[in-house]
Amino acid sequence: MDPSSVIGEIRETIPFVDLHRMHAGISDSLESAFRSVLEESAFTLGKKAQGFEDAFGAYVGTTHAIGVGSGTDALHFALRACGVGSGDEVITAVNTFTATAEAILMAGATPVFVDVDERTLLMDLDAVEAALSPKTRAIIPVHLYGQPVDMTRVMSIARRAGVMVIEDACQAHGAYCGSARAGSLGDAGCFSFYPSKNLGALGDGGMVTTNDPAIAARIRLLRNHGEDASRLHVESGYCSRLHSLQAALLSEKLPHLEEWNAQRVRSADLYDTLLAPIGVTLPGRNQGVSHVFHLYVVRMENRDAARERLAAAGVQTAIHYAVPLHLEPAFAYLGYVRGDFPVAERAAASIVSLPMYPFMRDEEVGRVAAAVGEVLRD
Ligand SMILES: Cc1ncc(COP(=O)(O)O)c(C=O)c1O
């Protein structure tokens, strides 16, 4: 398809993310949720948080869902609740947001990075098998950009090795792996409700999903100063509760998530159609999973110059992630060097995330594709 057929007359800058359109359609219900929290005057946990936990657990398909302060804390607490601590190693992808590795450090353990698959940029599962050691206590598959890792294989690797699995589903709300949702297949699933996520709060928030009552109980302690139902502080915990206001707002948004994800997929399909003839490397899609396109990430030559020209043409872009974690200063102490993860290093130099959000108009997708085409032609 020729991009010009869907460009229309749009001239304004196309933002990388636009949350206004999503919120405009539900502003009345968000405002009434806000008023009801004011009236109830219970601002942390409470009925609103419980209501959202129940709804989100039912949506993901787990028997427990525990609201916490952020996706990072969800990962941190899930690791601790899975028995990870000092002296343990946790295997995860080198191409992920820094929080995945931060959470491992917060639990007192050591991140062991593995390279990613050239086509999907998801964790390379052969590399996971090769990285297992007697110290490995857990694996964190990251459902990067909204596409689930092959959880059947992850679980079989983990069960054979006797290690726990904590899914980083912070970018994959609603995605399916086979017939089960991301976040319901490992020992625990972790979600972020950072505002720009597929399901985002109007501030920070996070959730752990699990079918294991012992893991759920430990996370309930950790998030609230180690306090149990009798109000005794049975261990030293953290202050990381899901705020009632965020829970109330998220409860209003959750019923729209399927439609919003479908709109993302629709824009991704249109991007694929328009960009394929242009010579851009499209996002690799795996069979047997559903991708919810938190991000639409392509690869192109001369990426930095291309991004500058796209910005000049009124198309905002981003990079996820510009520096693979083993080359970030924060993780230098781990002793990795350039060349250790060639696929992720090559990808970091060529990936570009194009604008992606619900209610993106076809004309806007068309204009982005046309701008990319122009940049690559010259
Ligand atoms: C893959 C991944 N893991 C973890 C996190 C951390 O979530 P939060 O920012 O809510 O702490 C994020 C969110 O940015 C993420 O994208």
Angle, CA of 98, 103 and 104, to the nearest 5°: 105
pLDDT of residue 1: 62
Quote the CA–CA distance of 127 and 125 in Å, as a whole number.
Answer: 5
- CB–CB of 213/188 below 8 Å? no
CA of 132 to the centre of ligand 1 (A): 25
| DSSP secondary structure code for residue 123 in this structure | B
Pairing of β 180-181 and β 176-177: antiparallel
Ligand 1 atom with minimal separation from the 72 CA: 11
CA of 40 to the centre of ligand 1 (A): 30
Nearest partner of 190 among 108, 46, 70, 92, judged by Cα? 70
Nearest partner of 288 among 199, 182, 160, judged by Cα? 182
CA of 226 to the centre of ligand 1 (A): 24
CA of 104 to the centre of ligand 1 (A): 13
pLDDT of residue 7: 55
CA of 72 to the centre of ligand 1 (A): 6
Ligand 1 atom with minimal separation from the 96 CA: 1
Neighbouring residues of 120: CB distance < 8 A, sequence distance ≥ 6:
147, 283, 284, 285, 286
The SS3 call for residue 303 is helix
pTM score:
0.96
The SS3 call for residue 100 is helix
Q: State the DSSP H helix or E strand holding residue 217, giving kind and residue range, or none if neither.
A: helix 213-223
Angle, CA of 113, 119 and 120, to the nearest 5°: 65
pLDDT of residue 325: 98
First to last CA, the chain: 20
Question: Which tokens belong to 150?
Answer: 């092959």
C-alpha of 146 from chain center: 6
CA of 71 to the centre of ligand 1 (A): 5
CA of 80 to the centre of ligand 1 (A): 17
pLDDT of residue 256: 98
CA distances for 344 relative to 122, 150, 199, angstroms: 10, 19, 27
CB atoms near residue 328 (< 10 Å): 16
On the CB side of 94, CA atoms within 13 Å amount to: 33
- Which of 106, 194, 320, 321 is the best mutation target for the ligand 1 pocket, counting ligand atoms within 8 Å of the beta carbon and taking the most? 194
- Which of 70, 97, 143 is the best mutation target for the ligand 1 pocket, counting ligand atoms within 8 Å of the beta carbon and taking the most? 97
CA distances for 327 relative to 34, 243, 331, 341, 342, angstroms: 43, 35, 7, 10, 12
Ligand 1 atom with minimal separation from the 204 CA: 10
In this prediction, the residues of the chain whose per-residue pLDDT falls under 70 are 1-11
**Per-residue pLDDT tens over the stretch 182-209:** 999 999 999 999 999 999 999 999 999 9
Neighbouring residues of 141: CB distance < 8 A, sequence distance ≥ 6:
92, 93, 122, 123, 149, 151, 154, 165, 167, 168, 186
- Which of 73, 123, 170 is the best mutation target for the ligand 1 pocket, counting ligand atoms within 8 Å of the beta carbon and taking the most? 170
Sign of the CA dihedral 59, 63, 69, 74? negative
Question: In this structure, which residue's CA is closest to atom 12 in ligand 1?
Answer: 170
CA distances for 235 relative to 213, 216, 223, angstroms: 18, 15, 11
pLDDT of residue 12: 85
| DSSP secondary structure code for residue 330 in this structure | G
CA of 197 to the centre of ligand 1 (A): 9
pLDDT of residue 352: 98
- CB–CB of 195/18 below 8 Å? no
Q: Which residues line ligand 1 (CB under 6 A)?
A: 70-72, 96-97, 99-100, 142, 168, 170-171, 192, 194, 204, 206
